[in-house]
A and B are shown apart, each in its own frame.
Chain A
Amino acid sequence: MSKLRRILVAAVIIYIFLLLSPIAGFDIPRIANVITHQPYLVARYLVIGIANGAIFAIIALGYTMVYGIIQLINFAHGDLYMMCTFASLTVIAAFGTTSKSDAGQIIFTIVIALIVAIIFGALLNAFIERVAYRRLRNAPRLAPLISAIGVSFILENLGQIWAGQGYIKFLTPYFGTSGGAAQKAYPDLIARQDLFQDVLGLKGFPVQFLTKELFVFVMAIILMLALRWFIANTRLGKAMRATSENRDAAKIMGINIDRIITITFMLGGGLAGAAAVLNGLYVNTAWWFMGFQAGLRSFTAAVLGGIGNVTGAMLGGFMIGILTSISDGLLDPAWTRAWVFSVLVLVLVFRPTGLLGESVGQKA
């Protein structure tokens, strides 16, 4: 009887979903039509999704490492990523490199921009940790989170001052109406070449796959593998794992907790810096509010994969990237956020610790 009831309830839920989801772009006949008639378009969305997902995954690593070690949702991480974008943009502007410069200069600029962004992100994140979070290590959990939100606001405003005056949308009379925001062009340093058609010479290959997508993907994989190696094989990585497992026990074992936490923040910040350069080279736009959305999606990715779990963050990042691009392309871009969060809620309802998260007990 109860089984029948369960099936009935599921059927009703599915029916209501089918009835209402076209409002948010999930119109099955239309999607089926696109898939059957333009399969290469769908493949193209997958490629874009993987490239975006690689960037989300790198940012998500910063979230998940920090969460793993001090159980803090580092709200400012997305905005740190935004600041890193502007730092690298400043470097590129200082070299005066454009897409028309010669290859040597472009490679040199990208390398320098990467290094600067990584160092900038690492130092800034360590500084933030020192100033805003360290003091609150034993405070109730809400305190560092609020502090992180405060830091996020500060960074957003600094980014605005640094990179252009969008209209500041914040409690303007009658709660404000949105204004235009200053978007900056990030120079298109990697030429728009198609991997299959231009590089490999396969004329007429149906799916577009830009070289920059390959670049982003390869760089992301290298960074992730390096991080994995670092955590698994070095002394510092071991200390980090020990600290996130049990901070007090690690302290007793002679691990300098403050130093390990600072290094974790630096690693996360450096990864955010790298992600910022990759994203800039790939998407070619930057604006002061980019950190919020990117941070939100990356954090979702981290949660999806199982927060505190590095592999999970990578998996979640790619999933969110693909989901986002599919939703943008096939469903309705305006509802992408809603779809991302619906998937998050669904995953969390059925697997409360995320896809790869181990079942930790409830931590108050």
Chain B
Amino acid sequence: MGFLAVLFGGWSPAVLAVIAGTLLGFLAPATAGASSQDRLTRNGVGALIASTLIMLGGQIYDGGFLLKRGLADVAVMSTHPPEVANTAALLAVILGPLCAIGMTWLQNLRNHKLAQRLNLIVLVFFLVAFPFVEQAARLNWLATLIFAEIYVLLALGLNIVVGYAGLLDLGYAAFFAIGAYTTGLLSSPTSTFQVHVNFWLLIWLSAGMAAIFGFLLGAPTLGLRGDYLAIVTLGFGEIVPVAFQQLIHITIKEPFTCWIIPAFQNLFGAQSTVQCITLLNQYNLTLGNKGIKPIDPPVLPIISPNDQGIALIVKIALMVIAVGAIAYLFRRAQVRNQVNSKSNRRAVIGAVVGLVIAIIVFVPIPPLDANAGAISAVANSVLATVQPGAFESARPISWYFLILGLSVLTIFLIRRLKDSRLGRAWMAIREDELAANQMGVNLVRTKLLAFAMGATFSGFAGAFYGAYVSGIFPNVFDFSVSVIVLSAVVLGGLGNLTGVIFGALIIMINDRLVLVQFQNLLNGLQTQVLLPAAANDPALREFIRANLDPVKYRFLLLGLVLVLVMAIRPEGLVPSRERAEELHASEEDKIEEIEAKMKATPDKVDPS
């Protein structure tokens, strides 16, 4: 974290210290068995040290430290006024330990349920507050974070296929591409269809399209053994971008009329008499390497900001009815499943929350009266940034909330899926296909659904990607995307949602933010310090210029990370419980453990 602060400077130390402190407070208590008072002190001190390091990092970047050491040239790179750095440093040292202590206190609560809920509230608060803080602190992290979240979506989808069902899919980018191209073809002025489907409909269409292709790929290949499946999906992932690149002059001629009948007629010496039917001639579907751009951004559904009076009321009423109907259906499904009454209550709460979110997101709230004083001014400024009137790339906050919403929806759906009959069937197949089959799991259907479900979520991601970047090109969706998503899943911990999310965030943030910023810093260092110092030695200058470029070693770094993680923690950073046990306790250990237990308490044997 201190390193990060060196990279970014400015206000970043304060933000980083808060994040570091919170994470420390959240994670550390789980690992130690000391008394709660001890933990509080220890985490506080730990966070103080961390924050101080972060603060020092910020000071290095912004020059307060370097100027005194005479390294003025490096400090020149900073664009922030010195008082920002000092305030940020102060905030970092104060807020970091405070957050750590607060979080530790939370974890120490006797009431675990309350602690969990408070944790959730803290998480939601962080997620909601982050973009505003980020904007205020002018860190420019949001664009990267949005991309990272696209990868989170992808990783969550792939986790279904690889983590739950245990099917290795090396061509996941293909479904991402299919989702993105569906969006592009159906909502771009440059596409051949010339239609403008609403984005909110389009994400479902894209997801459905990706799912259909998941079916199409899965149907002939799912009978294959694991490694064969891997290579076939790899091939599919290779073909799809090529197809999007090449579908630019499609000519389809009806084979019977165009050559089969004429060929026979020629064979018997007759003059061919059939008129050739050409269905498509030189049809340009995907625009090849030129790509499809621009793509329509999402707009508000149903309600437009200009609606007034009865129209507005009718539309809001319609929306309420729709959401209510969804909630009702949801509840009915729950009742039918005979789940206990508690989760019914939860379902209702969920529906109400969904309704409120829908209203907040979709219904434009008119600005308050500007004369009402400071409160209305604050409220208006918040409204102005939150309301997604139209999604523009210049206002990343609305995109951030959109992808956040999609991620939350995905996480919710996947959690439900995981515990459903289907999810349990996936895991049964992963553990032992033969046994699962004997227990009545329909292998083909279950695997196909895993493929289709996994593809669905990458369809979401594709639709969002297309709309966000507003341009899609075939060579974007190549093998490296598939591998990065797979690495994220494996790095974070196969089969564990938290792990997968962390994995994707870590990989993307490292790759897009840290490495790039590190390069900027090194470039600064190079031009300001190293090159002048090596002015007399052209060979050395050339060497420095050619090799001092961390972005050039991205592949190397990613590869090293993969190899190292596999060597040290093959179950991933945040493994799911079952996998960790599977990997670390071999059969013999388990037997020994049970034997030890039996010796200790001979009358109470725990067979697990």
Q: Which residues of A contact B (CB under 8 A)?
A: 15, 18-20, 22-24, 28-29, 67, 71, 73, 131-132, 135-136, 138-147, 149-158, 160-161, 165, 168-171, 173-178, 292, 296, 299-300, 303, 307, 332, 334-335, 337-338, 340-341, 344-345, 348-349, 352, 362-364
Interface residues of B in 460-488 (CB under 8 A from A): 469, 473, 475-481, 483-484, 486-487
A132 touches B239 (CB 8 A): no
- Which of A20, A142, A144, A154 interacts with B252 by CB under 8 Å? A20
Cβ-based interface call for B354 (8 A): no
- B45: chain A residues at CB < 8 Å are none
A344 touches B562 (CB 8 A): no
Interface CB pairs A-B, < 8 A, 26:
A15-B255, A23-B250, A23-B252, A139-B566, A142-B168, A146-B562, A149-B486, A151-B559, A153-B555, A157-B554, A157-B559, A168-B554, A170-B555, A171-B484, A338-B239, A338-B242, A340-B235, A341-B238, A344-B232, A344-B235, A345-B221, A345-B232, A345-B235, A349-B223, A362-B225, A362-B434
- A22: chain B residues at CB < 8 Å are 251-253
Min CB distance B251 to A, Å, is: 7
**Chain A residue at smallest Cβ distance from B567:** A135
Cβ-based interface call for B358 (8 A): no
B561 touches A150 (CB 8 A): yes
A175 touches B481 (CB 8 A): yes
Min CB distance A50 to B, Å, is: 23
B566 touches A146 (CB 8 A): yes
For this complex, into which size category does the number of interface residues on chain B fall? 35 or more
- Which of B255, B432, B559 interacts with A152 by CB under 8 Å? B559
Cβ-based interface call for B245 (8 A): yes
- Which of A155, A171, A178 interacts with B512 by CB under 8 Å? A171
- Known pairs A135-B567, A171-B512, A337-B239; A154 contacts B559 (CB<8 A): yes
B556 touches A157 (CB 8 A): yes
- Known pairs A168-B555, A348-B232; A363 contacts B242 (CB<8 A): no
- B561: chain A residues at CB < 8 Å are 150
A150 touches B559 (CB 8 A): yes
Task: Report the separation of the CA atoms of residues A72 and B245 in the bound assembly, to the nearest whole angstrom.
Answer: 32
Centre residue among B486, B551, B562 by max chain A CB count within 10 A: B562
Task: Report the separation of the CA atoms of residues A18 and B263 in the bound assembly, to the nearest whole angstrom.
Answer: 15
A150 touches B566 (CB 8 A): yes
Task: Report the separation of the CA atoms of residues A135 and B569 in the bound assembly, to the nearest whole angstrom.
Answer: 11
**Chain A residue at smallest Cβ distance from B173:** A175
- B579: chain A residues at CB < 8 Å are 140
Cβ-based interface call for B413 (8 A): no
Task: Report the separation of the CA atoms of residues A153 and B236 in the bound assembly, to the nearest whole angstrom.
Answer: 20
A139 touches B583 (CB 8 A): yes
A19 touches B563 (CB 8 A): no
B583 touches A303 (CB 8 A): no
A170 touches B246 (CB 8 A): no
A132 touches B563 (CB 8 A): yes
- Which of A139, A154, A307, A364 interacts with B433 by CB under 8 Å? A364
Q: What are the interface flags for B200-226 relative to A under an 8 Å C-beta threshold, 1 for contact and 0 otherwise?
A: 000000000000000000001101111
- Known pairs A23-B247, A175-B476, A341-B235; A168 contacts B487 (CB<8 A): no
Min CB distance B289 to A, Å, is: 9
- A23: chain B residues at CB < 8 Å are 247, 250-252
- A29: chain B residues at CB < 8 Å are 258-259, 263
- B473: chain A residues at CB < 8 Å are 177
A176 touches B556 (CB 8 A): no
- Which of B168, B243, B434, B486 interacts with A338 by CB under 8 Å? B243
**Chain A residue at smallest Cβ distance from B150:** A175
**Chain A residue at smallest Cβ distance from B429:** A364
Task: Report the separation of the CA atoms of residues A157 and B234 in the bound assembly, to the nearest whole angstrom.
Answer: 21
- Which of A140, A152, A176, A334 interacts with B582 by CB under 8 Å? A140
A153 touches B259 (CB 8 A): no
B490 touches A142 (CB 8 A): yes
Cβ-based interface call for B230 (8 A): yes
Task: Report the separation of the CA atoms of residues A348 and B582 in the bound assembly, to the nearest whole angstrom.
Answer: 32
Min CB distance B595 to A, Å, is: 22
- B193: chain A residues at CB < 8 Å are none
- B221: chain A residues at CB < 8 Å are 345, 348-349
Contacts A19-B279, A28-B255 aside, 10 further interface pairs with beta carbons under 8 A come to: A23-B251, A135-B567, A138-B586, A139-B566, A139-B583, A147-B563, A147-B567, A157-B556, A362-B434, A364-B226
Task: Report the separation of the CA atoms of residues A198 and B302 in the bound assembly, to the nearest whole angstrom.
Answer: 78
**Chain A residue at smallest Cβ distance from B480:** A170
- Which of A28, A307, A362 interacts with B259 by CB under 8 Å? A28
- Which of B220, B252, B551 interacts with A345 by CB under 8 Å? B220
- B251: chain A residues at CB < 8 Å are 22-23
- A143: chain B residues at CB < 8 Å are 490, 566, 570
- A299: chain B residues at CB < 8 Å are 231
Task: Report the separation of the CA atoms of residues A153 and B511 in the bound assembly, to the nearest whole angstrom.
Answer: 15
B252 touches A146 (CB 8 A): no
- B487: chain A residues at CB < 8 Å are 146, 149-150
Cβ-based interface call for B264 (8 A): no
- Which of A149, A154, A307 interacts with B483 by CB under 8 Å? A149
Task: Report the separation of the CA atoms of residues A299 and B221 in the bound assembly, to the nearest whole angstrom.
Answer: 17
**Chain A residue at smallest Cβ distance from B237:** A341
- Which of B242, B476, B477, B494 interacts with A142 by CB under 8 Å? B494
A150 touches B570 (CB 8 A): no
Cβ-based interface call for B227 (8 A): yes
Centre residue among A145, A169, A296, A307 by max chain B CB count within 10 A: A145
**Chain B residue at smallest Cβ distance from A29:** B259
B560 touches A154 (CB 8 A): yes
**Chain A residue at smallest Cβ distance from B556:** A157
- B406: chain A residues at CB < 8 Å are none
Min CB distance A359 to B, Å, is: 11
Cβ-based interface call for B558 (8 A): yes
- A136: chain B residues at CB < 8 Å are 566-567, 570
A363 touches B225 (CB 8 A): yes
Cβ-based interface call for B112 (8 A): no
Cβ-based interface call for B553 (8 A): yes
Cβ-based interface call for B162 (8 A): yes
Cβ-based interface call for B228 (8 A): yes
Task: Report the separation of the CA atoms of residues A292 and B227 in the bound assembly, to the nearest whole angstrom.
Answer: 18
Which 7 pairs across A and B sit closest by C-beta, in order of nearness?
A150-B562, A153-B559, A341-B235, A154-B559, A157-B555, A157-B556, A175-B476
- B583: chain A residues at CB < 8 Å are 139-140
Task: Report the separation of the CA atoms of residues A24 and B227 in the bound assembly, to the nearest whole angstrom.
Answer: 27
Min CB distance A300 to B, Å, is: 7
- Known pairs A168-B554, A345-B232; A362 contacts B563 (CB<8 A): no
- B220: chain A residues at CB < 8 Å are 345, 349
- Which of B227, B469, B490 interacts with A146 by CB under 8 Å? B490
Cβ-based interface call for B254 (8 A): yes
B245 touches A334 (CB 8 A): yes
